[in-house]
């Protein structure tokens, strides 16, 4: 699996719809890799009308449709095309009760769930919520591929097997600084099922070329 998190980068808005179409075309060249987009919430419905690739929400709030101003109810996100959601990203952390409630609501309506965790200890903790996937993402390495040329795969190589074991039997992905083929190769060798990237792709001069390199690391 491979996730592209567009966050709220200016390129995700100013490059619409081109960036999404180009990345989708690149992903099509690797049909054995399940590539998923997580577009900005304010652009989600338009992206859903533009591409056929699976789309996940960057976050959900644990409430139904109703008088809840300024939130992202799970059912609303599903109605505009989401098939899953991220939860507990280090830039949007959740307390245990909110995490449990949000996972439960997502489960009720059939949305898949990926929970982010910063350490193997946190992975062991969030595993009890029984998400579909867990992502090991040390927050200090977010964006480090672009700014420092390092990633979780190269800076925390020896911790990935520990994270995989902590997540078991839930499949583990890695994130934070992922920016080149070697990162994915290391992740797969160490037992992860894939990775998640953001700035390395979305802010790149040629986003599709970066995605092509990353997906080429998966077995054909």
Q: Are 192 and 139 in contact (CB under 8 A)?
A: no
Length of the chain: 220
Task: Based on the residue annotation, tell me whether 59 is a catalytic residue of this protein.
Answer: no
The structure tokens 């990775």 sit at 195
Pick the catalytic residue: 25, 89, 108, 162?
89
User: Could you please report the per-residue DSSP string of 38-96?
Assistant: E--GGGHHHHHHH--S-BEES--BS--SSS-TT--BHHHHHHTT-SEEEE--TTS---H
Q: What phi-psi label fits residue 121: left (phi over 0), alpha (psi between -120 and 50 degrees) or beta?
A: alpha
3-class secondary structure, 109? coil
Pick the catalytic residue: 108, 137, 182, 185?
137
State the Cα–Cα distance between residues 95 and 97, nearest whole angstrom: 6
Closest CA to 178 of 205, 158, 202: 202
Rounded (5°) CA angle 138-142-145:
120
Task: Based on the residue annotation, tell me whether 137 is a catalytic residue of this protein.
Answer: yes
The structure tokens 């390395």 sit at 200
At 61, phi and psi to the nearest 5? Answer: -110, 145
Among all residues, which ones are annotated catalytic? 89, 137
């Amino acid at each position: 699996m491979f996730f592209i998190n567009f966050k709220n980068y200016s390129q995700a808005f100013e490059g619409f719809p081109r960036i999404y179409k180009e990345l989708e075309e690149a992903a099509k060249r690797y049909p054995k890799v399940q590539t998923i987009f997580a577009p900005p919430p304010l652009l989600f419905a338009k992206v859903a009308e533009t591409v056929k690739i699976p789309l996940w929400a960057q976050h959900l709030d644990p409430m139904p449709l109703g008088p809840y101003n300024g939130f992202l109810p799970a059912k609303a996100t599903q109605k505009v095309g989401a098939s899953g959601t991220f939860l507990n990203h280090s830039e949007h952390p959740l307390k245990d009760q909110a995490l449990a409630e949000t996972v439960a609501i997502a489960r009720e309506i059939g949305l898949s769930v990926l929970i982010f965790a910063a350490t193997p200890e946190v992975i062991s903790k969030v595993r009890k919520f029984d998400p579909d996937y867990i992502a090991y993402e040390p927050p200090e390495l977010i964006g480090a591929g672009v700014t420092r040329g390092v990633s979780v795969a190269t800076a925390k190589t020896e911790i990935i097997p520990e994270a995989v074991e902590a997540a078991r039997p839930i499949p583990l992905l890695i994130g934070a600084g992922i920016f080149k083929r070697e990162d994915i190769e290391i992740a797969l060798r160490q037992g992860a099922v894939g990775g998640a990237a953001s700035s390395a792709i979305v802010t790149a001069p040629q986003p599709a070329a970066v995605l092509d390199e990353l997906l080429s690391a998966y077995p054909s």
